[in-house]
A = this chain, B = another copy of it.
Amino acid sequence: MSADAKPVSWTLVNGEPAGSLPVSDRGLAYGDGLFETLRAVAGGLPLLQRHLKRLQRGCEALAIPFASAQIEAELRDAAVRLGEGVIKLTLTRGSGPRGYAAPSEPQPTRILSAAPAPVTDPARREGIALFACRTRLSEQPLLAGLKHLNRLDQVLARSEWQSPEFAEGLVCDQQGRPVECTMSNLLIWLDEGWVTPSLEHCGVRGVMRDYLLDTLTARGVPVVEQSIDMDMLFSAQEVCCCNSLIGVWPVIRLGEQRWSVGPQTRFLQTLAEQVYQ
């Protein structure tokens, strides 16, 4: 290995190289934890503060101690070492005895995995088809918006299709209202502004979504968070999905419905790409 060659992928558990964790970890037992998936570019993490903020919100909701400075330092170190790629950080409440009651002084587990960026078909930037998932999201206001480890809804929804024809799947709430996609948030351009489903009862509040909402607002582009229904989705002039790894993918098909890639979506793509330049 030459002096400047970088390791391809690695994992740290509580800051030490390791590939395993104790079976008594509550992350395994109950999904008692949170995670973040960050894109590293040129040794940096452009959306780091938004990821940390969401992680902090999750820790507050679950009463998991949040060692903010330590986690930030480990993420920054990993990004420098990785250069370009994806860093996944999982934070659990740590080990505990059998039973739901949490230890009074939990020792959280940090799992940091760094890997090269996945190879994604560049054609997705020109538009994707959405699969219409039958799986509906659990309704739980106490957990809505958080990126916690209880992700069976997403596992079930994602298991509904195998064809590469569909890059993503649309997921609705228990009343059949569109909320998000399996791994990304949904935005629709309806008449004169962007609308994105509110995430009060279910769904993950993506950091790219938050960045786009803030940036659009700062630039005077109308954008609202509200409950939407299928009629609104089908009436939209433009539809797209976003997350911090993929950026923005225009949605051009859902069932029989077709959309073209419009100027508003192109502008969102530009905003997303500016993050990583």
Binding site for B on A (CB under 8 A): 11, 13, 18-32, 35, 37, 62-63, 86, 88, 90, 92, 98-102, 104, 111, 113, 115, 118, 135-140, 142-143, 148-159, 162, 174, 182-183
Contact = CB atoms under 8 A, between A and B. Distances in A.
Nearest to A182: B100
A271 to B, nearest CB: 25
B139 A139 contact: yes
User: Number of copies of this chain in the oligomer?
Assistant: 2
Nearest to A137: B140
Contacts of A148: 152
25 contacts: A20-B20, A20-B21, A21-B23, A27-B28, A28-B28, A29-B90, A30-B31, A30-B149, A30-B152, A31-B149, A37-B98, A86-B98, A98-B115, A100-B151, A100-B154, A100-B158, A100-B183, A102-B155, A139-B139, A139-B140, A140-B153, A142-B156, A148-B152, A149-B152, A150-B150
A155 B32 contact: yes
Given A20-B20, A22-B20, A143-B138, A155 B90 contact: no
A101 B159 contact: yes
A32 to B, nearest CB: 5
Nearest to A18: B23
A151 B62 contact: no
B101 A23 contact: no
